[in-house]
Amino acid sequence: MTAPGEWRCRAADLGPGTTAKLRLMCGGRDLEGFLVNHEGVYHAYVNRCPHVGTPLDLWPNEFLSEDGRVFVCSTHGALFEPDTGHCVAGPCAGDELTRLVVRHDGDDVVVSCHTA
């Protein structure tokens, strides 16, 4: 069962190098985010580029570069490290994606709207 302000999926359904788009209700506001399994570790972020606030994905759930090494903002091509959310190139270099809390609950990965 999912609690308010949480989203969950089975860990086995999100293999290494894959992402899942998610929605959370946080403080009465709808929030769009995404979860990534990067080298076997799960990370979650708000789906909003720090440069102009647009979603990173032009096409639904398309966040990673072709080689899977970085997230790419579809608006201006900014590049972000999957494990930190740090922008390493583009107009927001030095900024970071807003991180969401990720925890494990049995076989599930749970994302919470409380930012870390």
Query: pLDDT tens-digit profile of 5-43?
Result: 899 999 999 999 999 999 999 888 899 999 999 999 999
Write down the pTM of the prediction.
0.93
pLDDT of the residue at 3: 64
Q: What is 6-115's CATH superfamily?
A: Rieske [2Fe-2S] iron-sulphur domain (2.102.10.10)
Give 114's Cβ-side CA count (13 Å radius): 6
Q: What is the DSSP letter of 100?
A: E
pLDDT of residue 1: 53
The tens digit of pLDDT for each residue in 60-100 reads 999 999 999 999 999 999 999 999 999 999 999 999 999 99
Q: SS3 breakdown of the chain: % helix, strand, coil, rounded to 5?
A: 5, 45, 50
